């Protein structure tokens, strides 16, 4: 077995990380697009407040987010207790909680990317569609949405990469359970805490760097291709 | 010209960033009696109080860094500026001894501790009889988890696992754990009622109003819980000596006892 051969625990952590991150992105994507749209187009009293709230996970220590999630979404949390009582959903100590923590931490990145795309949309096109008789929903789905696809893809992939790296909120909220909540960074942390774990920790470091780089390059490529297509350059 | 002005402002920032922290440490480290003490998270409250007393006696200023023993040992190995290290278990002190960061003649055993079972204060569970083959599943219920320090690397978790194995109940709970990154995090899970049962040090249970001790593991069910303390080689050895003596003195002992430690 070579140095670069992943052990069963590490492989499980890798799979779990991909699964958790995919769910985090899937769940937060609709909410992210909606929030971005509200922030880009809306004119209302609490806009700055909402903007600040969305960006909090970017600037707060992740442990704070993890603790707030525990207080709000835990089995005895304000929202967590209701979720359990009415829907039978428990997020404490399982992968769903890990996905929730990752989604919250990655949310600002997604919203920023989509909002940027929305703000660069030529609103004249939307207005033209409206004068030709299209309703607001039709305008959004046939004009606005196709124009912001590159932004959505960038946002989704950034959020995916951020989710893969989530550590502080996850370990605080859902602990470090192998196969349930022990994602790649948590497995790596455990390895750095045992005296003979250096080689394995280094292996996971390299793996994390490779995945993150691949995601970033992929996101850049895809959004370029879509931008070119939107400009009609094929 | 406006461009030049901006450049000049940048220089101020660069200067601040490069010298600011150094200036700070120069001032802080000026007195020869000032110590930096790296100590296990479970000693936070007791050592904080002792540090205040040490300063009040005019013996010198003590700065603490509290974290899990493993984290601290790794930091000291990488050259962190610690003068004294108080570890929650023997292996991490021996680890530093092997790395020539601690001299064997400079280390001594300071404290002892016990492993206890705790439940949230409002739990209906009154007591858990700790005897060979006792049942934990009725306390944990269908989906509850046993909150403890990660048995992979947190000392409290390693002792806990040993004790549960000794009692023949480890297999009952090994898939029902919530392994936390340190023992205080394990305590928080029980305080908040997220875990119906926790395995922590007697000292952690003693400082919390929100948990209740329902069982104490016999001290022979795991290897003795010993907190070794040592002056770190390359640190201020001379200044560390009076502090180590102070830790063994009657005033410090009284404080350790108050927080539930055994003193050695």
Highest mean pLDDT among A176-185, A198-207, B229-238: B229-238
pLDDT of B1 reads 46
Pairwise CB contact (< 8 Å): B178 & A93: yes
Which candidate, A66, A154, A152, places its Cα nearest to that of A105? A66
Chain B residues within an 8 Å CB radius of A172: 185
Find, in chain B, the residue whose alpha carbon is nearest to that of A168.
B181
Chain A nearest CA to B194, separation (Å): 6
pLDDT of B25 reads 44
Is the predicted ipTM greater than 0.85, yes or no? Answer: no
Is A54 part of any domain? yes
pLDDT at A194 over 90: no
Per-residue pLDDT of chain B (264 residues; tens, 9 = 90+): 454 455 455 555 444 455 444 444 444 444 677 899 999 988 989 999 999 999 999 999 999 998 888 889 988 988 888 999 999 889 899 999 999 999 999 899 999 999 999 999 999 998 998 989 898 888 898 889 999 999 998 889 999 999 999 999 999 999 999 999 888 899 999 999 999 999 999 999 998 999 999 999 998 899 889 999 999 998 999 999 999 999 999 999 999 999 989 987
The domain total for chain A is 1
Is A117 part of any domain? yes
Q: How far apart are CA A68 and CA A82, in angstroms?
A: 16
pLDDT of B9 reads 56
Is A1 part of any domain? no
Tokens of B190: 């029980």
Q: If pLDDT is split at 50, 70 and 90, which confidence band does A216 have?
A: confident
Q: Does A163 touch chain B (CB under 8 A)?
A: no
Query: Could you tell me the residue range of the domain that residue A183 belongs to?
Result: 8-230
* Mutant choice from B40, B78, B194, B199 vs A, greatest count of A C-beta within 10 A: B194
Is A2 part of any domain? no
Which candidate, B53, B198, B190, B54, places its Cα nearest to that of B117? B198
Is A49 part of any domain? yes
In 3-state terms, what secondary structure has residue B119? strand
The pLDDT tens digits of the residues spanning A25-82 come to: 999 999 999 999 999 999 999 999 999 999 999 999 999 999 999 999 988 889 999 9
- Beta-carbon contacts of A11 under 8 Å, excluding residues fewer than 6 positions away, are none
The full set of domains in chain B, from first to last, is 31-112+226-263 (3.40.190.10), 115-221 (3.40.190.10)
pLDDT of B10 reads 52
Q: Which of B145, B153, B177 sits opposite A194 (nearest CB)?
A: B153
Handedness of CA B121, B124, B127, B132 (dihedral sign): negative
**pTM for this predicted structure:** 0.77
* Mutant choice from A88, A174, A193, A194 vs B, greatest count of B C-beta within 10 A: A193
Chain A nearest CA to B203, separation (Å): 22
Is A90 part of any domain? yes
Scanning the structure block, which residue is given the tokens 């590490």?
A10
Q: Does A145 touch chain B (CB under 8 A)?
A: no
Q: How far apart are CA A13 and CA A183, in angstroms?
A: 5
CATH number of the domain that A17 lies in?
1.10.3720.10
Chain B residues within an 8 Å CB radius of A70: 188, 192, 194
pLDDT of B11 reads 52
């Amino acid at each position: 077995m070579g140095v670069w051969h992943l052990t069963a625990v590490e492989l499980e952590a890798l799979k779990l990380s991909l699964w958790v991150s995919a769910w985090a992105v899937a769940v937060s994507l609709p909410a992210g697009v909606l929030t971005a749209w509200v922030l880009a187009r809306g004119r209302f009293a609490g806009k700055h407040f909402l903007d600040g709230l969305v960006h909090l996970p970017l600037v707060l220590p992740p442990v704070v987010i993890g603790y707030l999630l525990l207080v709000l979404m835990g089995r005895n949390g304000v929202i967590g207790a209701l979720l359990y009582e009415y829907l039978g959903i428990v997020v404490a100590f399982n992968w769903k909680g890990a996905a929730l923590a990752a989604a919250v931490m990655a949310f600002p990145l997604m919203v920023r990317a989509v909002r940027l795309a929305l703000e660069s949309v030529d609103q004249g096109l939307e207005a033209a569609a409206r004068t030709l008789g299209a309703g607001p929903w039709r305008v959004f789905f046939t004009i606005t949405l196709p124009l912001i696809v590159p932004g959505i893809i960038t946002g989704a992939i950034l959020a995916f990469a951020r989710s893969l790296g989530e550590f502080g909120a996850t370990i605080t909220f859902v602990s470090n359970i192998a196969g349930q909540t022990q994602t790649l960074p948590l497995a790596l942390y455990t390895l750095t805490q045992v005296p003979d774990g250096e080689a394995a920790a280094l292996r996971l470091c390299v793996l994390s760097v490779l995945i993150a780089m691949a995601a970033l390059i992929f996101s850049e490529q895809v959004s370029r291709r879509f931008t070119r297509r939107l400009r009609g350059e094929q | 010209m406006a461009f030049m002005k901006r450049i000049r402002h940048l220089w101020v920032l660069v200067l601040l960033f490069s010298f600011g922290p150094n200036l700070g440490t120069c001032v802080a480290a000026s007195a020869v009696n000032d110590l930096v003490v790296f100590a296990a998270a479970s000693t936070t409250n007791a050592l904080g109080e002792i540090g205040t007393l040490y300063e009040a006696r005019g013996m010198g200023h003590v700065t603490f860094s509290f974290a899990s023993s493993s984290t601290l040992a790794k930091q000291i190995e990488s050259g962190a500026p610690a003068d004294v290290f108080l570890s929650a278990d023997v292996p991490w002190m021996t680890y530093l001894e092997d790395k020539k960061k601690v001299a064997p003649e400079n280390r001594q055993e300071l404290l002892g501790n016990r492993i206890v079972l705790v439940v949230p204060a409002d739990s209906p569970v009154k007591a858990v009889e700790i005897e060979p083959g006792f049942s934990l599943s009725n306390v944990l219920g269908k989906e509850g988890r046993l909150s403890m320090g990660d048995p992979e690397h947190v000392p409290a978790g390693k002792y806990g696992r040993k004790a549960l194995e000794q009692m023949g109940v480890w297999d009952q709970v090994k898939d029902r754990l919530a392994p936390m990154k340190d023992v205080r995090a394990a305590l928080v899970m029980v305080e908040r009622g997220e875990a119906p049962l926790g395995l922590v040090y007697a000292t952690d249970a003693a400082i919390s109003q929100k948990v209740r001790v329902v069982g104490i593991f016999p001290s022979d069910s795991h290897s003795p819980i010993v907190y070794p303390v040592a002056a770190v080689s390359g640190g201020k050895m001379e200044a560390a000596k009076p502090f180590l003596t102070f830790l063994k003195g009657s005033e410090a002992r009284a404080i350790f006892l108050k927080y539930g430690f055994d003193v050695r």
